[in-house]
Amino acid sequence: MPSICFYFEVHQPCRLRPYSFFDIGASSSYNDEELDRLVMRKVADKCYLPMNALLLELIKRHEGRFRFTFSLTGTFIDQMIAYAPEVLASFQELAGTGCVEFLDETDSHSLAALFSEDEFREQVAAHRHRMRELFGAEPRAFRNTELIYCDRLAALVEGMGYSTIITEGADRILDWRSPRYVYRPYGCSSISLLLKSYSLSDDIAFRFSNRGWSAWPLMADTYAGWLKQAKGDGNVIGLFMDYETFGEHQWKDTGIFEFMRELPGKILDDPEMDFLTVSEASARYPASGELSVPEWISWADAERDLSAWLGNDMQKDALKSLYECRDFVTALNDPRTTQTWRRLQTSDHFYYMSTKCASDGDVHQYFTPYGSPFEAYANFMNILADFRLRLLAAGHK
């Protein structure tokens, strides 16, 4: 029996306002709050509200047999509370069904796992507090920013008490293995590893509206048939994707909502298939073996590595300079300063600095608010220069 495991990442970054060299020392206003508000309102109307309503409808229609998993970033939560409180209420209503799992992650959607274990732990603890406070959840499963993962992260997360971690089912780490099984991370004794089935996930997240795709238009019964072909070849099909796929990346007129409205029924008409949350899947299916991932992987771009954020010297310089501030921020112990620094850690800022070409470059260009990667770098470094000046001034005081 292959179980279907839908996981949705819900994220909005805190966007930076245009900040010139002449603003350094003159303005500590870094965030473009009006742009954040406009984007949140737009995506709330196109994605969050209609999709949450649809998922609630499907849970009720299928009497709790339709189950799925969310991870909400702290930056998304901040904007949801500030600009779209009705979206928060709709997520809370879903949480109340008992059919939805919420994962933990770094609160700032950061790359802290690559630079500071202490900072990573603090951000995860902050996110865990939000999940408890807003949804009454005590997450047992973890996802790192952009599914960034390696063996030593699994060991760290296991030591923090989590029973499950998820990542990308990258071909180069699997070799002959299938992403449709639960694995035990190398060197760990209790935590389970669930993998994204990236081809099937990307059929929805990226190819759904592509009129040049041989499977267009993709219908629910066709896709359900593809999933049913996995019977006898795996236990869990991890369909991991951005939640903004629904209505924002794939617009309503593509038929994406109708597709999702029909899909659970097409799957559940087969008594050998069901839906599970991430933790339910790892609890039901024992690890089929140990999987070693010695080098960092992610779910981004064709390489599935760190090059989306650390692929050029601008990105490396920006990240190095940012994390060098940690000792100053920690010493000041000022909540507002810490919040500002953590918002600057959001991975999107460095994603915008990517100089990749071809199809990966097109994806980066789709998300960036900047005219070029160099503009993104200059704007960020101007803000960071001002932030560092203010840290030094506060330290002298």
At 291 the three-state DSSP class reads strand
Amino acid letter at 54? Answer: L
- The end-to-end CA distance of the chain, in Å, is 64
Torsion angle (degrees, nearest 10) of CA 337, 341, 344, 345: -150
Catalytically annotated residue among 9, 101, 146, 244: 146
List the structure tokens of 209: 């509206």
Query: Residue 209, exposed/middle/buried by CB under 10 A (0-12, 13-18, 19+)?
Result: middle
Which residues, including other chains, have CB under 8 Å from residue 90's CB and lie 6 or more apart? Answer: 48, 49, 52, 53, 56
pLDDT along the chain (397 residues), means of 10: 95 97 94 97 98 98 98 98 98 98 98 98 98 98 98 98 97 94 97 97 97 97 95 94 97 98 98 97 97 96 94 98 96 95 98 79 67 97 97 78
Question: Tell me, what's the pLDDT at 231?
Answer: 87
pLDDT at 360: 52
pLDDT of residue 375: 97
Does this model's pTM top 0.85? My answer is yes
- Cis ω for the linkage preceding 217 (within 30 of 0): yes
SS3 category, 1:
coil
The answer to whether 250 and 295 have CB atoms below 8 angstroms apart is: no
Does residue 258 carry a catalytic annotation? no
**352: Cβ–Cβ under 8 A, 6 or more apart, which residues?**
364, 367, 368, 369, 370, 373, 376
What angle separates helix 373-396 from helix 313-323, to the nearest 10 degrees? 20
CA distance 265 to 227: 13
Kindly list the distances between the CA atom of residue 261 and the CA atoms of 10, 98, 154, 266, in Å, as whole numbers in the listed order: 20, 20, 35, 10
| DSSP H stretches of helix in 194-347 | 198-205, 220-228, 256-268, 278-284, 307-310, 313-323, 326-332, 335-344
Question: In a 3-state reduction of DSSP, which class is residue 375?
Answer: helix
> Which residues have C-beta within 8 Å of that of residue 358, sequence separation ≥ 6?
none
Residue 86: count of CB within 10 angstroms of its CB = 11
Burial of residue 321 (CB within 10 Å: 0-12, 13-18, 19+) is middle
Residue entry with tokens 């949350």: 277
Contacts for 369 with CB less than 8 Å, ≥ 6 apart: 15, 35, 352
Nearest partner of 125 among 163, 80, 78, 157, judged by Cα: 157
Quote the pLDDT of residue 363.
60
Residue type, 60: K
CB 237 within 8 A of CB 3: yes
